[in-house]
């Protein structure tokens, strides 16, 4: 049983106007009353308040700062980590907590792919995001300065350089993801771009917040 005076579920009942926050390296993404608000880290000043904010954080410096603010409640403390692995990112975990069966693709600076079956994390992997992979190709040769072709026909082998790069990054990703024969969920900054490739995928920009809500609803974890 987690060491807490009250269950997370009791907190959930008390604070009906729930405030969630996904703290990244560059922004605070707030979610209140089904409304999202993005504030850049450089523009946000932490203040002590009575408002309870349930958060996840991948920014180590900010995570340390938030420990000084008792109204900020780290949802990582309420995750049953035996379902995951120690170094797994909390953002990936929240994506998995939002889905009962599916493949979750979070397309940000990195692209993460996680598989959930019957509510259990089955495994996942990390690859370069679209922008980072483009930069990597440029380091190989300036002749590889091509944008991705999101209208590519993945049933045909490429016959030009742009499609060859696209196929190498997105074609292989597509084939792997579809091999699990599960619903596909897209989230993250480049999710809308990938929706052209994963045409039947569920595009959900609030997926991580849904996972955060599910953690709260579970109450105490044994």
In the three-class reduction of DSSP (H, G, I as helix; E, B as strand; rest coil), residue 203 is classed as strand
Cβ pair 162, 179 in contact under 8 A? no
CATH of domain 101-203: 3.30.420.40
Active site residues: 91
Of 77-86, 157-166, 213-222, minimum mean pLDDT range = 213-222
pLDDT digits (tens, 9 = 90+) for 130-151: 999 999 999 999 999 999 999 9
Residue 172 has pLDDT above 90, yes or no: yes
Give me the residue spans of the domains in the chain. 1-98+206-222, 101-203
* The total number of residues written for the chain in this structure: 222
What are the tens digits of pLDDT across the range 90-143? 999 999 999 999 999 999 989 999 999 999 999 999 999 999 999 999 999 999
Choose between 8 and 26: higher pLDDT.
Answer: 26
What was the pLDDT predicted at 18?
83
Distance, in Å, from the CA atom of 129 to the CA atom of 214, rounded to the nearest integer, reads 27
Residue carrying structure tokens 């953002």: 91
Nearest Cα neighbor of 214 from 118, 83, 22, 78 is: 78
Per-residue confidence (pLDDT) for residue 221, from 0 to 100: 33
Is the model's pLDDT at 3 over the cut of 50? no
- Superfamily of structural domain 1-98+206-222: ATPase, nucleotide binding domain (3.30.420.40)
Its pTM stands at: 0.86
Confidence tier at 4 by pLDDT (50, 70, 90): low
Whole-number pLDDT of residue 167: 96
Asked if pLDDT for residue 1 goes beyond 60, the answer is no
* pLDDT at 222 (0 to 100): 29
The predicted model gives 182-203 an average pLDDT of 96
């Amino acid at each position: 049983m987690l060491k807490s005076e009250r269950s997370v579920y009791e907190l959930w009942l008390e604070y009906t106007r729930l405030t969630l926050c996904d703290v990244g390296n560059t922004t605070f993404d707030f979610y209140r009353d089904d409304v999202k608000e993005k504030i850049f880290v450089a523009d946000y000043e932490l203040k002590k308040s009575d408002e309870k904010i349930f958060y996840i954080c991948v920014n180590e410096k900010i995570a340390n700062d938030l420990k000084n603010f008792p109204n900020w409640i780290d949802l990582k403390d309420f995750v049953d980590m035996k379902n995951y692995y120690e170094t797994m990112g909390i953002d990936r975990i929240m994506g998995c907590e939002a889905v009962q069966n599916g493949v979750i693709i979070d397309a940000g600076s990195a692209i993460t792919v996680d598989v959930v079956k019957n509510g259990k994390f089955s495994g996942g992997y990390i690859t370069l995001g679209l922008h980072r992979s483009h930069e990597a190709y440029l380091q190989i040769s300036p002749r590889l300065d091509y944008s991705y072709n999101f209208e590519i026909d993945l049933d045909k082998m490429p016959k030009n350089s742009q499609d060859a790069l696209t196929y190498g990054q997105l074609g292989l990703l597509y084939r792997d993801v579809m091999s699990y024969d599960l619903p596909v969920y897209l989230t993250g900054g480049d999710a809308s771009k990938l929706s052209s490739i994963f045409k039947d995928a569920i595009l959900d920009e609030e997926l991580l917040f849904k996972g955060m809500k599910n953690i709260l609803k579970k109450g105490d974890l044994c």
